[in-house]
Amino acid sequence: MVRIMSGIQPTGSLHIGNYLGALQNWVSLQGEYEAFYSIVDLHALTGRPDADELRNAVREIAIGLLASGVDPEKATLYVQSHVPGHTRLAWILSCMTQMGDLNRMTQFKDKSHNQPENINAGLFTYPVLQAADILIHRADRVPVGEDQDQHLELVREIVRRFNKIYGKTFPEPQVVRSKARRVMGIDGDTKMSKSRGNEIGLFEKPEAVWKKLRGAKTDPARIRRDDKGHPEVCNIFSYHGFFSPEATCAQIDADCRSAAIGCVDCKKILATNLEVVTGPIREKGEQLRANPQEVDDILASGAAKARASADQTLAEVTDRVGIRN
């Protein structure tokens, strides 16, 4: 089978933007490809997180993935740091990466801006470890958002350089897009993010979700209830496109344009349909939290499978570059 690989950082709580942009896609792809999904805790170290908070975040991400439908019988789910091959390959690939390539990475500038007191070397070499995450399993496909296009092109450049010097070793991974390419936060201004405080948590209870939706930004031109709406520019209506049935979306579109429905009612319908999706995920998450050994066993089994894959890759790579495996 064609291999697919993707990773998620254990930073902050999962929200519906994560679900729509990544988790939902992972679940749909796991039956189509040989899937490797990793919780990339080594990347999280660039932010110097508290040790206990990082460990807890890794577990919460694992619970979120499993509760959302990632099936350990279909996909290899593991923690990045549990597979040493990631960092071994990252060093080899760093010797294939030009400083000029890394200097052009816009995310380094963005991340440096967000933590000006901690502009560490890890932020700069982050894309090389990301390349190793993908190439350690010789993945053919990578589900990523548009904000990662530059990094994936760097991966392909590293592959081309390695293959030219040492012979055909790695495939050039191709992009797999999610249907939800960019999920805006409830402020309607920026991408949904825990750090921006504009998120709807994946595990939040209905009353907490409704409190956020009540104050969420809608059509900026619709000031009064009797004004006709413009669903195409309404952030709340964009959520309906992900969580409400097609017929409901069509009805809301028509009612909004004719002023037959107000923003509050539109939000209430969304809250109901959102709960249909997130309610079972929240319930499954609670079950997994009550049985932490089950989560540990799944991650341990996944790490063993991932190490076997990584060892095969490293055996060939180290032979080609002239060092012992």
The catalytically annotated residue of 74, 109, 111, 164 is 111
CA dist., res. 166 & res. 34, Å (int) = 26
Active site residue 268: no
SS3 letters across 224-263: CCCCCCCHHHCHHHHHHHHHCCHHHHHHHHHHHHCCCCCH
Quick check: 141 and 174 in contact, CB under 8 A? yes
Give me the helix-helix angle, 263-289 and 246-257, nearest 10°: 150
Q: Please state, in angstroms and rounded to a whole number, the distance separating the CA atoms of residues 285 and 304.
A: 24
Give the separation between CA 274 and CA 100, rounded to whole angstroms: 45
Cβ(159)–Cβ(106) below 8 Å? no
Residue 111 designated active-site: yes
Of 251, 174, 199, 210, nearest to 4 by C-alpha is 174
Q: Find the catalytic residue in 74, 109, 168, 191.
A: 191
Looking at the chain, which runs of residues are DSSP E strands? 3-8, 34-39, 75-79, 141-143, 174-176
3-state class (DSSP) for residue 37: strand
- Annotated active-site residue 211? The verdict is no
Catalytic residue among 74, 194, 217, 305: 194
Instruction: List, in sequence order, every residue forming a beta bridge with 78; answer none if it has no partner.
Output: 38
Break the chain down into helix, strand, coil percent, rounded to 5.
60, 10, 35
Look at the block and give the residue holding tokens 């992900």: 242
Active-site residues: which are they?
A: 111, 191, 194
